[in-house]
């Protein structure tokens, strides 16, 4: 049995991922803001460093999998939090735990979003985020200063920043995937559709109305969102050795929404 780290595992998709992995007999460490095995704020450098240090202390021989799932919606009203948690909370943690994944030939799965295909991402900000791993790039703090100038009371701005972070995540995964795989570590991303989670349950009425415009073909004729376990099952598959041939993949797990809206984009 393996050792798996799941962020955002106290509820929603992450919670189901923890549950399924534990039911399979694995040792699973849930990293979340509260009600977790490691309570930490992944939106901060201190929180991420604490998690990286703690996991190294607990599992010096390596880990089998990392599922970066922690995130907030575009309707959370805090643009800086969207960027620092959704993007840096995944990318910097994955970089910090890469050596442990490498020790065991492990795998990483990052949760993106099917909204990445709908054209709302800001390309300029995606570039800033993706280049932020280089020494000459803007720091996280500098990018957050740019973001704080935007109108956080505008829901479409929040959505755009959310999509931007998820797009940047998916592109980061694609960019590093070849090198990581050559070092024995696979990395993939899932792009869920609208899922019934604590995050979507607290959305405003207008945000919920926007969800209705993104039909989920497998739930046609109902108002139902995707179930968290629909996504978690795919995450568990991708992070497992069964998915050995899958690397650098952005897997849409949205009940067919992306295919519905973008059927002509085969690749």
Is 131 catalytic? The answer is: no
Is residue 44 a contact residue for another protein (CB under 8 A)?
no
Relative to beta strand 65-68, strand 3-7 is parallel
- Which of 20, 207, 214, 246 lies at the binding interface for another protein (CB under 8 A)? 214
217 binds another protein (CB under 8 A): yes
18 CB contacts (<8 Å, ≥6 apart)? 6, 9, 28, 30
Return the number of the residue (227 or 262) whose C-beta is nearest another protein.
Answer: 262
Candidates 48-56, 132-140, 188-196, 215-223; binding stretch for another protein (CB under 8 A):
215-223
Nearer to another protein, 42 or 161 (CB): 161
- Asked whether position 215 contacts another protein by CB under 8 A, the answer is yes
Burial of 49 (0-12, 13-18, 19+ CB in 10 A): middle
Selected range binding another protein among 39-47, 142-150, 159-167, 212-220, rule: CB under 8 A: 212-220
Figure out which of the listed residues 61, 139, 264, 267 binds another protein, where binding follows CB under 8 A: 264
- Return the number of the residue (39 or 210) whose C-beta is nearest another protein: 210
Least separation in angstroms between CB 146 and another protein: 26
Nearer to another protein, 92 or 159 (CB): 159
Binding site for another protein (CB under 8 A): 210, 212-215, 217, 220, 260-265
- Please identify every residue annotated as catalytic: 162
């Amino acid at each position: 049995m393996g050792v798996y780290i799941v962020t955002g595992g106290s509820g929603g998709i992450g919670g189901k991922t923890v549950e399924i992995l534990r039911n399979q007999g694995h040792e699973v460490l849930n990293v979340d803001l509260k009600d977790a095995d490691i309570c930490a704020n992944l939106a901060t450098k201190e929180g991420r460093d604490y998690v990286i240090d703690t996991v190294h202390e607990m599992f010096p021989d390596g880990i089998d999998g990392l599922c970066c799932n922690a995130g907030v919606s575009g309707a959370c009203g805090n643009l800086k939090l969207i960027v620092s948690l959704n993007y840096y909370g995944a990318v910097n943690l994955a970089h910090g735990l890469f050596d442990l994944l490498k020790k065991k030939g492990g795998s990483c799965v990052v949760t993106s979003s099917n909204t990445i295909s709908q054209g709302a991402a800001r390309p300029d900000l995606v570039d800033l985020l993706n280049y932020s791993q280089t020494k000459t790039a803007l720091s996280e703090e500098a990018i957050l200063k740019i973001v704080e100038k935007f109108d956080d009371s505008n829901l479409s701005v929040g959505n755009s920043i959310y999509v931007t972070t998820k797009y940047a995540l998916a592109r980061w995964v694609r960019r590093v995937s070849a090198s990581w795989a050559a070092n024995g570590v696979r990395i993939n991303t899932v792009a869920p559709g609208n899922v019934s989670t604590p995050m979507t349950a607290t959305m405003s009425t207008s945000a919920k109305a926007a969800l209705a415009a993104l039909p989920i073909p497998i739930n046609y004729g109902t108002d139902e969102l995707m179930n968290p376990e629909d996504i978690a099952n795919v995450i568990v598959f991708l992070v497992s050795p069964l998915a050995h041939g899958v690397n650098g993949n952005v897997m849409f797990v949205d009940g067919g929404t992306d295919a519905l809206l973008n059927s002509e984009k085969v690749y």
